[in-house]
Amino acid sequence: MVTISGKSVFGGVSIGKLMFYKRSEKVIKRTHVDNVDEEWSRFQKAKDTAVNQLKGLYEKALEDVGEANAMIFEIHQMMLEDLDYLESIENIIRTQEVNAEFAVATTADNFSQMFAAMDDAYMQGRAADVKDVSERVLDILCGVSNGIKEMEEPCIIAADDLAPSETVQLDKSKVLGFATMYGSSNSHTAILARTMNIPAVIGLGDTLSEKYDGSLAVIDGFTGTLYIDPDEETLSEMKKKREKDLEQKALLEQLKGKENVTKSGQKINVYANIGNVSDLGAVLKNDAGGIGLFRSEFLYLENTDFPTEEQQFAVYKQVAESMAGKKVIIRTLDIGADKQVDYFGLDKEENPALGYRAIRICLTRPEIFKTQLRALYRAAVYGNISIMFPMIISVDEIHQIKAIIAEVKAGLKEEGIPYRDEVELGVMIETPASVMISRELAKEVDFFSVGTNDLTQYTLAIDRQNSKLDRFYDPHHPAILSMIKMAAESAHAEGAWIGICGELGADLELTEEFLKMGLDELSVSPAMVLPLRKRIRECE
């Protein structure tokens, strides 16, 4: 048995095979082939395999996220059977006597450029799809398997570290837990593990090596320990621990439908944070009163190109409809820093966390921002959507945002497209500047939501991504607590409401203090909703 200690990200025990995350490194080269018939049939076989994979994905998505979202996998199947697409590949193989990989990659580039240049927003959206399906065929042709796409049974995913974009693409039904060599507990990957309700340990170091691929392992997410090839005694102890944990969770079930109210009658809203529509099930299952933070940038991270207005509209509408009138706070694009997307073409920066990110991108590239705002204002017709802006540092930014919103609304009106005129607007309080000018900001917006993850990083000058600094990263620091208090006083003085959507909102040691500050809402990962409700109900 090998025992490795790391840092816990999410409690719970999971037992299963270790599976190392593999990154595909395919280099597509143009090579000459003598037998073009053979090459064409090699392509056809790969294409058939891809179609079968997509059929499986469709069935799975149908169960997990409903027909509307599963549709994309049907569209992908149709694209692979499209005659123009197939003819182009066959033609390149036969006339240029080249390998199938090169023919697929060239066709994918040509077709995606053609779609992207079309006027119709729907067709533009197909540009990313054609690339996506072609990548699938290329993976098969090159014999690489990216991530854990081909995993047959649920496993514990092991990796050096996982980027948020890699984590969101994992098939969640097959992930028992995460175990990584590096990573910080405040990173977005750690946040995703919490949202997905998956036991996770990070910072396990080099002892976690690929030679353990396929070995039986146990994650004890309470102590931050990974056991590889556990002995009988440890295995049975861990099985008992898991049972106990499940029992505790069953007990919490009894709190469903109950109010978030203290013994003396003070009420507070408890909402959930999500990154994706597939998290909606967990939100409803855990009885959250609304969604306090929808990290919309994950929509961008999952795509290979800018999500179109229609794609975004469909997602926001689905979230609004599923929440059936409960509040859904959607945060506009917060890309940059650790959340990198190739197609944004962002430059490498010395200090990305202090760099070109979030609202700064939206205000300098308004075409991206406007597409998102149009989708949001249109989707707001279908439910109780509020919009929130990240990384705000000045009142002038709010004025600029409002001017863009006015333009977007005027455009929708002129085109006769239905939208909601009055949408609640809020800002994230996650920079010290926003705290210091919170009184002025509160005059401009309906609500604040404190992003304690970034507020801690910017106030304490500690990079939240740097695992070496985890021991210094102290969100309980009096400076942070005073800032939250100050923002709450400013909000209430100007008739706005205030919540916390950073990880600190789920810190049960501080619940009482947050209630004393008079916070109106706490938004936490879905699995923390019921433990938080329990804690609130125990408070005086």
Residue with tokens 């705290």: 435
Using the Cα atoms of residue 211, residue 214, residue 216 and residue 219 in order, give the sign of their dihedral: positive
SS3 306: coil
Binding to ligand PEP by residue 136, rule CB under 6 A? no
Closest approach of ligand PEP to the CB of residue 287, in Å: 21
SS3 131: helix
Residue range at the interface with ligand PEP (CB under 6 A); choices 194-202, 308-316, 450-458, 529-537:
450-458
SS3 453: helix
Distance CA 269, CA 246 (A): 26
For ligand PEP, which residue of 295, 357, 374, 535 counts as binding (CB under 6 A)?
295
Output 50 or 388, the one with its CB closest to Mg ion.
388
Binding to Mg ion by residue 503, rule CB under 5 A? no
Output 203 or 451, the one with its CB closest to Mg ion.
451
Instruction: Copy the structure tokens of residue 533.
Output: 């409700």
Binding partner of 139, given Mg ion, ligand PEP, none, CB within 5-8 angstroms per partner class:
none
451, 499 contact by CB (below 8 A): no
Residue 467, phi-psi category: left (phi > 0), alpha (psi -120 to 50), beta (remainder): alpha
301, 358 contact by CB (below 8 A): no
Closest approach of Mg ion to the CB of residue 390, in Å: 6
Residue range at the interface with Mg ion (CB under 5 A); choices 21-29, 117-125, 411-419, 453-461:
453-461
- The question of whether 142 is a catalytic residue gets the answer no
Question: Which residues 410-439 are close enough to bind Mg ion by CB under 5 A?
Answer: 430
Binding to ligand PEP by residue 374, rule CB under 6 A? no
For ligand PEP, which residue of 286, 452, 465, 490 counts as binding (CB under 6 A)?
452
Name the active-site residue from 188, 399, 476, 477. 188
Distance CA 476, CA 456 (A): 9
Binding to ligand PEP by residue 430, rule CB under 6 A? yes
Output 186 or 511, the one with its CB closest to ligand PEP.
186
Binding to Mg ion by residue 454, rule CB under 5 A? yes
Binding partner of 53, given ligand PEP, Mg ion, none, CB within 5-8 angstroms per partner class:
none
Binding to ligand PEP by residue 279, rule CB under 6 A? no
Closest approach of ligand PEP to the CB of residue 501, in Å: 5
For ligand PEP, which residue of 197, 312, 453, 467 counts as binding (CB under 6 A)?
453
Q: What are the Cα distances from residue 113, in Å, to 7, 69, 136, 301, 309?
A: 45, 25, 18, 20, 18
Distance CA 308, CA 121 (A): 7
How many chain residues are in contact with ligand PEP, going by CB under 6 A?
10
For Mg ion, which residue of 11, 12, 352, 451 counts as binding (CB under 5 A)?
451
Binding to ligand PEP by residue 289, rule CB under 6 A? no
504, 255 contact by CB (below 8 A): no
- The question of whether 155 is a catalytic residue gets the answer no
Q: Give every CB contact of residue 478 below 8 A, 6+ residues apart in sequence.
A: none
Closest approach of ligand PEP to the CB of residue 371, in Å: 20
Task: Give the residue from 373, 400, 399 showing the smallest Cα distance to 387.
Answer: 373
Binding to ligand PEP by residue 502, rule CB under 6 A? yes
Output 230 or 502, the one with its CB closest to ligand PEP.
502
Distance CA 317, CA 323 (A): 10
Binding to ligand PEP by residue 454, rule CB under 6 A? yes
- Across 59-76, b (16+ Cβ under 10 Å) vs e yields eebeebbeeebbebbbeb
Binding to Mg ion by residue 463, rule CB under 5 A? no
Output 186 or 225, the one with its CB closest to ligand PEP.
186
Q: What are the Cα distances from residue 15, in Å, to 2, 178, 200, 202, 527?
A: 14, 11, 12, 16, 19
146, 20 contact by CB (below 8 A): no
Output 323 or 501, the one with its CB closest to ligand PEP.
501
Binding partner of 362, given Mg ion, ligand PEP, none, CB within 5-8 angstroms per partner class:
none
Binding to ligand PEP by residue 334, rule CB under 6 A? yes
Interaction site with Mg ion (CB under 5 A): 430, 451, 454
* Contact set with ligand PEP (CB under 6 A): 293, 295, 334, 430, 451-454, 501-502
